[in-house]
Structure 1
Amino acid sequence: MPQMAPMMWLNLFMFFIMVFMMFNVMNYFSMIYKNKSLNFFLKKTLIIWKW
């Protein structure tokens, strides 16, 4: 039935928008950041220049 086609397109549009938003939210909140202050002290190296 062609009369029902706009309703189906609207449902598909809303479905894909919701999936897109859920994908973005899950990617944003699943990031785990490492604390850089702890690694700063561990990477300290002593360089002695001999001319």
Structure 2
Amino acid sequence: MPQMAPLNWLTLMLTFVVILLMFNIKTFYTVNHRPVINKLMIKKTHLTWKW
């Protein structure tokens, strides 16, 4: 029936949005981002001043 087509599209769109939100929430809370510490950034130079 052509009259039921908008309801089918609405159901498909809502299903897609719910799956998309669930996937985004899952990846946001499960991925553990660790900061990359570069060895060159930690290296400190100590200057000794002789007056």
Q: Specify if TM > 0.5.
A: yes
Gaps of 5+ in 1: 46-51
| Structure 1 match to 2:47 | none
Q: TM-score under structure 1 normalisation?
A: 0.63
What are the equivalent positions in structure 2 for 1:1-51 lying under 5 Å apart?
A: 1-34=1-34
TM-score by length of 2: 0.63
Computed over aligned residues only, the root mean square deviation of the Cα atoms, in angstroms, reads 2.2
Percent identity over the alignment?
Answer: 34
Q: Which runs of 4+ in 1 moved over 6 A?
A: none
Query: Deviations for 1:3-36, whole angstroms, at most 9, x for unmatched residues?
Result: 0000000000000000000000000000124477
Q: How many residues align?
A: 41
